[in-house]
Amino acid sequence: MIGFLTKNHYARLLELANTAFNNNEVPISAIIIDSTGTILVGAYNTVSSSNSVHNHAEINAINKLFYKLKINSLKNYRMISTLEPCLMCLGAIFHSQLDSVEYICKSNDGSFSKFENLYPIMYQQIGNNKQKIIFKELLENFFKILRDNKNEVKKNEFFV
């Protein structure tokens, strides 16, 4: 079911994004599902805690599934991310051979969509307006707190 965000998918993405927020990480999350819609792995950004610019939610999810299934191709799997993937993640997505990538919130720079014609994968925005607003506000709240508190984000109680 390409292009459809279930309540279970949404709930897991929100849980992961809140975990990232509460760990002072940018609250972006990603899940990878199989053809039946079953969530196989979920991940969130761990750039700050790992001191690695590579640990975006999408790359963490890809690595988790490779490790979990002991495979080197993600053909027949689908990724759903809370934010349109960046160019670095685009490279990882392409090399992992995911069948499709769907995202809830559009990135301000629209980085992924600028190159979607170069990569032969299904790519689209999904989610209803309420879901988009919740993830957008979570990101905005994170960066507002970060600016106000100079790099320290307090535990998130609003988006539970």
CB 83 within 8 A of CB 74: no
**In the numeric block, which tokens belong to residue 105?**
């919130």
**In the numeric block, which tokens belong to residue 67?**
């490790």
Tokens 């969130």 belong to: 44
Q: In which element (H, E) is residue 20 found? A: helix 7-22
58 is an active site residue: yes
**Catalytic choice (58, 102, 152, 157):** 58
Q: What are the φ and ψ backbone dihedral angles of 66, each rounded to 5 degrees?
A: -55, -45
Tokens 């992924």 belong to: 112
Q: How far apart are the first and last CA of the chain?
A: 27
Active site residues: 58
